[in-house]
Chains A and B, each alone.
Chain A
Amino acid sequence: MSEMKKIKNLKEFSTSADRFEGANLLCPGCAHSIIVREVLNATNDDLVLSASTGCLEVCTAVYPYTSWDASWIHIGFENGSTAVAGAEAMYNALKKKGRLKQPERNPKFISFAGDGASYDIGFQWISGCFERGHNIMHVVLDNEVYANTGGQRSSSTPIGGSNTTTPAGTHSYGEKQNKKDMMAIMAAHGGPYVAQVSPNKWKDMVKKIQHGFSVDGPVFINAASQCCTEWKFDPKDTMHLADLSTDTLAWPLYEIIDGKELNITYRPKNVIPVEEYLAAQGRFKHLFKDEYKYLIKEWQERVDSNWAYLNRREEARV
């Protein structure tokens, strides 16, 4: 049987034994480490982890050091999902053959990857893993940018952001494409569980991670990972940015069960205008010039429209 942690409060949660150590090279204020701790702390079971190339990987396994007190593998940028899928296949093989060293254990197979490694270069590998039904969890640390290589746009980058490959300039407002809807795409794979989470809503996150561990088959978790370096905000404001993202509904929290049953898991009491979320980040600074203010209006319309869509799906139980 799986062993889920029973967590009463944030203090107990934040002081529980870590298998991801605080000794790492991530930027102060980076949400990656918060999310990883929240995911790993959701279970007491053994772990087989992977990280795709990216901030998390280069900051936590620099020889001769490691931040991981659990089995961990990195192969490349695109194939972290398939790395744990391969390990899961070996687990199944050795279980069948009676060769597991600790047959009583019930390991969890988790792949961590950035949005570049999930939405873009690693997309095919994730799709393959989900189609084949491996018993793995893929967690996207979605900071909406290639942060490790210095702020290039990915297909997760939202409209209007200024990035190093889509910079705002005298004749451009920056990124022109809307963010890819990975939640819908992954739900369409028909896996048992797809959920969107944010580190500020840790109880919601832990509940979803534990649900993900309890189902058979591939689980997709899309985690908002606020990036002070590329989004350009003060490192002390990470949780403030997370609160703004969930309370403006720029990052709605919801889950999709078996590819069809959508549940909204957080409804802000007071929905904040999305303008406040944009204003808190240097990457959107140029949108507040007169000629680009229409983009802020469009942002709000897009957020409203998406929220209405999610509500309609929840109501219709589809």
Chain B
Amino acid sequence: MAIAEVQKVQILAHAGVKMEILSTLQEEGLIQLERANFEELDLESSFQEVSHLEHRLHRLSSALVYLSRWEEKGFVKKLFAQKPQIDRQKREEILDFDYLPVLDKIEKLEAEKDELLSEIRFLEKEEEFLNPLEGLELPLRSLKPTDSTEILLGSLPLSQEQSFKELAEKEAIWFEVINRRKRIIYLFLIYPKGEREYFEQILKDLNFVHLYFTENMLNKADENDKVKNVMEKIKEEIKEKEGKLANLEREGQNLFIHRENLMLLHDVLLNERGKIFSSHLLGETERVFYMEGWIRSSDAEKLKSKLQPYTDAIEIYARAPLPEEEPPVILKNPKPGKPFELLTKLYGLPQRGSFDPTLPMAPFFFLFVGLCVSEAGYGLLAALLSLLLIKFAKPKGGLLQFLKLFTLLGVSTAILGALIGGWFGFPVSELMVLDPLQDPLSFLILALVLGFVQVWFGTLLNMINGIKNKLYLESIFAQGGWLLLLPTLVIYFQTKQSIWGILSLVGASGIVFFGSPSRNPFARFFGGLYSLYGISRYLADVLSYSRLLALGLATSVIAMVVNTLCQTALGIPWVGWLLAALIFIGGHLFNLGISFLGGFVHSMRLQFVEFFSKFFKSGGKPFSPFELESKFVEFI
């Protein structure tokens, strides 16, 4: 089924055109290079080149981080932002742009900014320190011990205030309270110098903390400057430095015009590095180099024509993969099935001999998400939003596929919502074929029937795949046995007609006699009986689909709850309508979110655990071609 054919391509060429050929291959992105079995020469110089490039790239990306501050802000703007584009063939022209002065300038600006910031932080610390001492009415420089007295500034825990006062009265301490804070008082005190050690000890016992002005503060103070004046000076200095900072910002903003060029340059250099890395995969001699890799068979001709200019210096071979080789896997599906490849890739790519399960899985997943959410309004909203995003945000790659998938799921939800759900919690009964709230049993049966169909289909795929891989007996009799047994058993229990019973016994005997690979007849028989016990697994798998009902009901009931709350809110006078509108919008958006999350995840689980386990073997390696990678720009 839908796996693209790949070939091994081997290229032998003259060493002189090595970089040109690698450039072309990188531009086209057709080949996944493999390591060639040859010794490498000349590694030393390329490592130097790589480290040089790494250094440049590092400088460029930190400059870009710096410039990104002047990017347009806002969630919507970011969402719809487009990457700058560059012609892939002309990408090397950007290397002429003289970017080193710009980088130097940015680095200088950043260094200056860091310095200013740390200076400002230092000044702010000083101001913080001076703040409680603002009330001190003495010049800073006058606070020096005299011949006979010691002058101190300091703080004391509030709890010690009383004992300090008593002490001051008893001894010869003069003091003044400068400031009172929640738990601390700030003091200025004078005592006789003669008994310094004694005073120091008793102050220490009271938890007195000595405060000193720093050299910097004293330098700032003129002869008569008080704490207040010094603080003003510091504030002024901070303001001045902030002004400088603002100037630096403006200078930086002026460099913003270079941002796009730096982005282009970054990505071009990134790919130069990629080219050197891939050249390590080649086998080289002094005159010739050899490379090999995987290519889509349909791209082989294109590769040859792209390498036409070097035709004198090159030899290209392509061949089918050998049985012992493990080629990378490329999924190939028609357009509507493509978004569902995301799920397959998530589970794992098919291994050799298995096949791509995307198309068999897609219709079930489509249907199940619709059943789980089953709300027409939400479906339309989701589809509309995804379409708008695709149209205006122009996403690429995986995100685009995801949005496409979401559009499809929105459509499915809208259809099934109209049939079995409602429109934002209001059922439109003319459109409905089944109301799960009134008749949950019918919905349950529907869910189980869908589950039965998918599980049976999975077994059928297993049989087909087995036949393809030449496991005829086991596939036809054991898998075929299941295919016969499962539906006939159900019909037999419904109708009790013996013909169905006999048919189911025929199926069961197929499983008993061919279900075990053993050659020993006894082991084979009992092994077969044991595999018949697998019917409990089938039962459990089918019952697992009952979650479709539960999740579907949950969406409708929560939507109903939101609307009931709205009705209650409408009863409130004056602001009732506003409140109701808020509840309606918020509630339904919330429900939309959790319903799609639940619906998506549980439907995915049904595919992975119940469906894929029947037939699918993952373990293939993804195809990752040697191509232009981009971080900031887009190569066109």
A is bound by B? no
- A-side interface residues toward B, CB under 8 Å? none
